[in-house]
Amino acid sequence: MTEIKHRSVPVNGITLNIAEAGEGPLVVLLHGFPESSYSYRHQLTALAEAGYHAVAPDQRGYPRSEHPASADDYSILHLVGDVVGLIGALGAPDAVVVGHDWGSPVAWNTALFRPDLVRGVVSLSVPFQPRGDIAPLDGVRAAFGEKFYQIYFQEPGVAEKELEGDTAAMFTKMFYWYSGDSPQVQNLITDENGMTGSLALPEELPSWFTAEDIAAYTAEFAEEGFTGALNWYRNIDRNWELTTAWAGAKITVPAMFLGGDKDPVVNWFDPATLELAMTPAVENLTSFGLVEGAGHWIQQERPDETNAALIAFARSVDR
């Protein structure tokens, strides 16, 4: 099997750890929350064997990469700047930029801000959402109330207490209950025990997620904790303020979306009309798919389907 290697790369005044494999046109894989480059372990090798230089950074604030102290250093401009800087540091003229979960807004905005550097953009799980007329947290408060998870993540120290308590149990619950193996689609509403505290531990793990995977994630977050990752959420309204100049702008590069029909995020929207809803703002949506029975962690839950779709899309935009 193709080997995944790790190294540090200086980018925009900080150091990012990257996991990489293969040689060829660059594909950058951006993880989400609460994950790391490890979440792309299946895609790195598959893309490498298909003839690509596959690179998954541990993004700022996440394990093995630097954690700037100020929450202000986690805006969307910083996050997109890291991707732009990474493409340059790797000596590539451009990249297919893939994002999952929080990595998806970073991927979408990289395509929006710097289409000259993006051969194609892929989002796993999170559709493109054009900048709205009201601050995003006001919008989710109106739609879901004060207990929506994004609101819960705002106060420093509160979510950290939950996530850094029994971290292994938290990961077990998070990955199970937000996956397609869960008996019900979660609503992302917290309670007095936070986001996962009231969820039961599954009697057995799903086939795609092992005890070794739980141990790997737990060990990664043991040293630095979750504050850096949570600081991304603490910039949601600030990102809206910073992106005023892009109001009404559209994604023009070739784009792909792949989600699971049991993904809680996909189900915020109407899955039946999601493709049609995206096309006005994503002008060149060349690939769209919903995987039956898959949940939020699609590249881990369904690696074969995800890899096939990624490789087909990457080949379609090769120059």
For residue 182, is pLDDT > 80? yes
Contacts of 246 (CB under 8 A, 6+ apart): 112, 113, 131
Euclidean distance between CA atoms 262 and 238, whole angstroms: 30
Mean pLDDT value across residues 84-99: 98
Residue 296 is a catalytic residue: yes
Going by pLDDT thresholds of 50, 70 and 90, the confidence category of residue 149 is: very high
- The pTM of the full predicted model, rounded to 2 decimals, is 0.98
Residues 82, 94, 101, 213: which is the catalytic one? 101
Going by pLDDT thresholds of 50, 70 and 90, the confidence category of residue 197 is: very high
Instruction: From 99, 87, 101, select the one nearest 34 (Cα to Cα).
Output: 101
Contacts of 69 (CB under 8 A, 6+ apart): none
Query: Which residues face 288 on adjacent strands?
Result: 257
Residue 78 is a catalytic residue: no
**pLDDT score for 309:** 98
Residue with tokens 């060149």: 284
Angle at which helices 41-49 and 303-316 pack, to 10 degrees? 40
Q: What is the pLDDT of residues 206-265, one digit of tens each?
A: 999 999 999 999 999 999 999 999 999 999 999 999 999 999 999 999 999 999 999 999
Query: Which residues face 291 on adjacent strands?
Result: 260
CATH at 253: 3.40.50.1820
Q: How many domains does the chain have?
A: 1
Q: What is the pLDDT of residues 274-288, one digit of tens each?
A: 999 999 999 999 999
Going by pLDDT thresholds of 50, 70 and 90, the confidence category of residue 319 is: confident
Query: Which residues face 20 on adjacent strands?
Result: 5, 55
Q: What strands, in cross-sheet order, belong to the sheet with 285-291?
A: 5-11, 14-21, 53-57, 26-30, 95-100, 118-124, 255-260, 285-291
**pLDDT score for 123:** 98
Domain span at 91: 5-316
Euclidean distance between CA atoms 201 and 193, whole angstroms: 14
Burial of 7 (0-12, 13-18, 19+ CB in 10 A): exposed
Going by pLDDT thresholds of 50, 70 and 90, the confidence category of residue 72 is: very high
Going by pLDDT thresholds of 50, 70 and 90, the confidence category of residue 141 is: very high
- 199, 204, 206, 208: CA torsion to nearest 10: 120
